[in-house]
Each structure stands twice: as structure tokens, then as C-alpha cells.
Amino acid sequence: MDRQTLIDTIRRKQSFLCVGLDPDPARMPAHLGTGPEAVLAFNRALIEATSDLAVAYKPNVAFYETLGAEGWDILQQTMEAIPEGCLRIADAKRGDIGNTATRYAQAAFEAWNADAVTVAPYMGRDSVEPFLAFEDKWTILLAATSNPGAEDFEFHGAEGGQPLWRRVLEVSSTYAGADRLMYVVGATRPDWLAEVRAVVPERFLLVPGVGAQGGTLEAVCAAGWAESLAGGLLVNVGRSLMYASGGEDFAEAAREEALRLQQAMAEELAVSR
């Protein structure tokens, strides 16, 4: 999915909702049973219930790796269940160099048929450009995340007293294929989200942390909006949507939460900025 198609999809659906698919068997409805097939049934039901309201889905690879060999099959089948017209994001947070990075990219883009993959930028250009070499795909770099440990490195002073996340934004913008970069910025730090937007006004931002983690849609939009990109935001919502109900009505409850978010997003899209 190229930039203009993503913009058009956001406008058509009046939504910039990204649904996290991080299935925790301990929290899944009991009637689905247990094991990998239950995870797949859970995912498929959530996708079917929300695909007209979401523009992207983000399975976190770790939740599938923990299922062993069958987990890889479930991940691939989950990707296949996401309909055309929705961005498929493999949340893998890869970060290695050379041929290893290329193999990671091939796994995400070719084996799993993802449209985008999350990547850690710590090792620099030669850990990122192998992903950018796939011309019809997106690479989503971790920038200013909202976890407490982000203070260890991301927000630590670098050259000129600037935080490291700012150098990530500035230097990665010089990489080959940088027009296909997005960045991860946490919803719980709207002041820093505004600073990120000032540095990369023409980049999409993947924003986790709305809902269970305490971030709000209103604060995210106020801080990170990019009018030329139909907002330029992919707001990821996971637990508060996936586990809106623990009963047999879990898919219906997830849809209600997705609809609530979509309606709020439509209101944000209607505001002239």
C-alpha cells in the first residue's frame, strides 16, 4: 500500500485505527478452547468484526513465537485473514545488519506478506536500509516510545544536547528509501509527540498507547496531526478492544469499541487544522 492509497483509505473509512492482534490465551474467551487454533479463531473473529472500521492491523510476532512451530502458521494465516485494503504490520522490532537484516525483511514481507515491519534503529543505516530495499513496503522505526526504559537511551542527550530519538529522525531521513519510513511514537507522551511531528511533518506515525495504557485520542490528534497526510497517524489500540468482553460476544464488543473510536476519528478528520 503506497502513501496515497493509505491516505485515500483513511479518508474513505473516516478512520486511522490500527488494531493490535496480540492474543493472550489467558485472556481469550473460554468458549474458543485452547491452543493455536483458538488463537486463529479469535483473530479471525476480531478481523471480521472490525475490518470496515480499521485501516491497519498489527500482530506482535512474539505472541505467535511463543506458540512454537504452529505459531508461525497462525501468524501467516492471521495475515492472510486481513483483507486487501488494510495495512498489515508485522510488529517484530527487528534490528540487525547485512544479510541478517535482509532475511528478516524477507520473512516479514515475503513469507508473512506484511506491508510494514517495525525495526529498531540502534545499529544504524545498515540495519534499516535492507528493509527499505523492498520498494513497495514500509519500514516503521522505533523513535520515542512510552515505556519507562525509553529514558535509558531514547531520551538521553546526544549531539548538541538533543535527545537520541531526534537524531534517529534526522539521520534516518537521509537513508535510501526514506520516503517509506514511518515512526513509532507513544501516545502517553503528547508533548514529545508534538516535537516529533515538528521534525517529521510529512511522515506517518504509528502511535500505540491509546486505551489500556492511558493515552487519549484527543491528545494524540492535537499533538501529532499532519493535515497533508489525512492526519498522518495510525493509532494502535490493542487490549481495550481485543478484550472488551471475555464472553461469547467478544467480537461484537470489539466492534462496538472500534466503532466508538472510528466515530471519534471521523470527528477529528472533520476538523480543519
For 110, 171, 190, 208, 241, the CA distances from 166, given in Å and listed in that order, are: 31, 9, 15, 19, 31
- Give the 3-state secondary structure of residue 173: coil
Predicted TM-score (pTM) of the model is 0.95
Alpha carbon distance 103, 129 (integer Å): 12
Contacts of residue 98, defined as CB under 8 A and 6 or more positions apart, other chains included, come to 126, 130
Would you state the cell numbers that stand for residue 95, as one nine-digit string? Answer: 534490528
- Closest of 230, 122, 117 to residue 181, by C-alpha: 117
For residue range 16-27, list pLDDT tens digits in order.
999 999 999 999
Which of 245, 251, 193, 221 minimizes the C-alpha distance to 45? Answer: 251
| Whole-number average pLDDT of the chain | 93
Q: Which helix (H) or strand (E) holds 11?
A: helix 3-13
13, 58, 93, 137: the active-site residue: 93
E strands of 28-180, at which residues? 56-59, 87-94, 116-119, 138-144
Q: What are phi and psi of 236, to 5 degrees?
A: -85, 130
What does the pLDDT read at residue 158? 52
Q: What pLDDT does residue 272 have?
A: 60
Q: What's the structural domain count of the chain?
A: 1
| Percentage of residues in the chain having pLDDT higher than 90 | 84
- Which residue's entry shows cell 497533508? 228
Q: What is the pLDDT of residue 162?
A: 81
User: Is residue 152 exposed (0-12), middle (13-18) or buried (19+ Cβ within 10 Å)?
Assistant: exposed
| CA angle, 174 then 179 then 182, to 5° | 95
- Spans of the chain, pLDDT less than 50: none
Residue 58 a catalytic site member: no
pLDDT in tens, 198-209: 999 999 999 998
Q: What is the CATH number of the domain that holds 62?
A: 3.20.20.70
Instruction: Enter the C-alpha cell of residue 172.
Output: 534516518
Domain that holds residue 216: 3-270
Q: What amino acid is encoded at 23 in this protein?
A: P
The DSSP secondary-structure symbol of 218 reads: H
